[in-house]
Amino acid sequence: MIRLEAGVAGVLVLLAAARTASADEPVGAREPRLMSETAEITSVADAFDGDGTVLVELANLLLERNPNGTYSNLADADTSISCLDRPWPRSLAAWQSAASTASRDAPLFGAPIVWGNLTCAYWPVPSYPLPRIRAAGARPILVVGTLRDPATPYRQAQALAADLASGVLLGWNGDGHTAYGEGSACVDTIVNDYLIEESVPRSGTVCQ
């Protein structure tokens, strides 16, 4: 048994990340899921009783720990890409302000997620200039976003669709990361028709 002290945010962030990692695996690799919801509840209860065994196992899966104790370069690559993807503030005051705002908006997850990116404030390589991609002349490009996506906010889907010369926005009034194949017949039908029949929905359509 592994003993640990775990805050609410730390436990929930780990479970959410592990669940997202499972969902992002190829379809054939998803079964069985990492944990059932009942097992998740049990593992959280165990953690607050001081037994972090299951959470450590989840962390090992999430960070791709090998049997010999080494890790893949997943975390290194993710950090590098994130820090080069966009400009990050260098002032600690800016981070404190962002964490405070995030904490008000999302009391459990907000501040930990902000501080989790602090490495990028000290990243030695400048971020790349943000490109302006219009895809002028392309056929309609369908952009799908989930209204309450915690990883890629819906406003980013709206911005991308607006940036593209032929962008078409499809929203899903749902929760979680990604929309296609997540249980919405409306989303699945529209996306399938777009890919197979080249049928283009009205931009701004939101599936309920």
User: Does some domain include residue 129?
Assistant: no
Which two three-digit tokens encode residue 104? Answer: 């008000």
Q: Are residues 63 and 84 in the same domain?
A: no
Q: Are residues 14 and 67 in the same domain?
A: yes
Domain count, the chain: 3
Q: In what order do the strands lie in the sheet with 205-207?
A: 141-148, 167-175, 205-207
DSSP secondary structure code for residue 130 in this structure: P
Global pTM reads 0.65
User: Does some domain include residue 165?
Assistant: yes
Give the pLDDT confidence of 56-113 residue by residue, as tens digits: 888 898 889 999 999 999 999 999 999 998 889 999 999 999 999 999 998 998 999 9
Q: Are residues 89 and 59 in the same domain?
A: no
Q: Which domain holds residue 182?
A: 141-207
- Tell me what percent of the residues of the chain surpass a pLDDT of 90: 62
Q: Are residues 67 and 22 in the same domain?
A: yes
**If you average pLDDT over residues 132-151, what whole number do you get?**
95
- Residue 118 to residues 78, 79, 126, 156: CA-CA distances in angstroms? 14, 10, 15, 22
User: Does some domain include residue 177?
Assistant: yes
User: Does some domain include residue 133?
Assistant: no
Q: Are residues 153 and 175 in the same domain?
A: yes
Q: Are residues 87 and 64 in the same domain?
A: no
